Chain A
């Protein structure tokens, strides 16, 4: 079963606008991570936020985490056509024997139009 659920499933915006994607999860986590996937390619790590952090920034990316609501959001500011991709949240809740186990959500497909 998937741990994270992204919302919306698809998002279409114009260049220069901000894009906000949300992720909800079910169990306690060590951290939450956001990844980007261009069509037919592997995933690229964007940002990691620890369970004791509430907000983190990286360039045009802003991630928030609310552990009481078991939710996170990814904000991309001043979007560009090159930001067009699928975005996934992944939670690290620990697997068998305390091993790291990354579980991904279904993703948000972002289309940024020139």
Chain B
């Protein structure tokens, strides 16, 4: 069953803690993306990666970090520097080096600061 899997579905973080959101895909896609969605809002790009060991900042990268050590995996760490981390986080993947390709999304992780 090919797809993109995010875990956990729900995550609670205490103030000052770092937390890591998992994103795994078995679609053999080169490109992977992390988006943040606030209630009733669109998606804002946090980080994206086109190849292993390389990634680029999106529009709202401050307070977040990523790694891309394997093609299948693109974990996102929400650091204590992110002052308002409560949001819905979506991971996506697509074929890269190929113009005009669609993105496939995971089911999201809802992060809440308690």
CA distance A88 to B33 in the complex (A): 16
- Chain B CB within 8 A of A101 CB: yes
> Given the complex, which residues of A lie within 8 Å of B88, measured CB to CB?
40
Q: Are B108 and A40 in contact, with the CB atoms below 8 A?
A: yes
- B residues 83-114 in Cβ contact with A at 8 Å: 88, 90, 92, 94, 96, 98-108, 110
- Chain B CB within 8 A of A103 CB: yes
CA distance A90 to B43 in the complex (A): 9
A41 CB, nearest partner CB in chain B, Å: 6
CA distance A2 to B36 in the complex (A): 12
Chain A contributes a number of interface residues (CB within 8 A of B) equal to 32
Q: Are B56 and A104 in contact, with the CB atoms below 8 A?
A: no
Q: Are A101 and B42 in contact, with the CB atoms below 8 A?
A: no
Q: Are B56 and A95 in contact, with the CB atoms below 8 A?
A: yes
Q: Are A2 and B42 in contact, with the CB atoms below 8 A?
A: yes
Q: Are A43 and B56 in contact, with the CB atoms below 8 A?
A: no
> Given the complex, which residues of A lie within 8 Å of B43, measured CB to CB?
43, 88, 104
- Chain B CB within 8 A of A106 CB: yes
> Given the complex, which residues of B lie within 8 Å of A101, measured CB to CB?
45, 48, 56, 58
Partner-A contacts on B (CB < 8 A): 6, 31, 33, 35, 40-45, 48, 50, 56, 58-59, 88, 90, 92, 94, 96, 98-108, 110
